[in-house]
Amino acid sequence: MAGFTRGFLGKGKAERDPRLPPGQYDTGRSWPVLTAEARPKLAPADWTFGVDGLVERPTTWSWDEAHALPPSTYQGAIHCVTTWSKFDMTWNGVSIDTFLAAAGPLPSATHVMATSHTGYTTNLPLDDVTGGKAWVAWEVDGAPLSASHGGPARLLVPHLYFWKSAKWISGLTLMDHDEHGFWERNGYHDHGDPWTEERYQGD
């Protein structure tokens, strides 16, 4: 047994990955598709991203304009409320901080409504999309984001359950109060922190 280290013997198969939030399992290489609406046909030339509501300068970016902004990468996991998590992903896009710096949030802004080109909506506290925690993303693991996963571009808010990451993102509206989006109206949690299992209203 001389060749076996203590660490090796101590790592039983049942040991839980510390990156896995409670109630979640590792989906491995697979990546489920979850879409409530019909998948839109949205070419990059037709995609826009806008920031409006409580901002000094409501602004809309085209595909080319968004790609001219400083790039930003997220490396890590995503967590779906249906209990799968996916590790070691690399996402490229632009930080929401960059878009907000251009639009100039008013001091009264506390929440955002994210809206998709399909009409899907989801609400988030402003603090959860600032400080390097959220992106508009168009590339994942070295390839363009596929249409079924929200391409040409989606919102990415990986520290919250994945329903907050609106596919085919069209914009953020800054508000001075919270309002329910699509799944939140249908019983999902306003915030959605996977580490405290904020799955449903009342959790």
Ligand X SMILES: Nc1nc2c(c(=O)[nH]1)N[C@H]1C(S)=C(S)[C@@H](COP(=O)(O)O)O[C@H]1N2
Binding site for Mo ion (CB under 5 A): 34, 80-81, 163
Give the nearest distance from C-beta 23 to Mo ion in angstroms.
13
Asked if 165 interacts with ligand X (CB under 6 A), we say yes
Token digits for 203?
């959790």
- Considering only 11, 26, 32, 73, the residue that binds ligand X (CB under 6 A) is 32
- Considering only 11, 19, 26, 36, the residue that binds ligand X (CB under 6 A) is 36
Token digits for 139?
């590339």
Three-state secondary-structure class, residue 86? strand
Asked if 166 interacts with ligand X (CB under 6 A), we say yes
Three-state secondary-structure class, residue 196? helix
Give the nearest distance from C-beta 136 to ligand X in angstroms.
13
The 10 Å Cβ neighbour count of residue 156 is: 27
Pick 33 or 68: Cβ nearer ligand X: 33
Which positions from 112 through 141 interact with ligand X, judged by CB under 6 A? 116, 118, 120
Token digits for 40?
């839109």
Residue with tokens 């100039």: 104
Asked if 27 interacts with ligand X (CB under 6 A), we say no
Residue with tokens 């001219």: 68
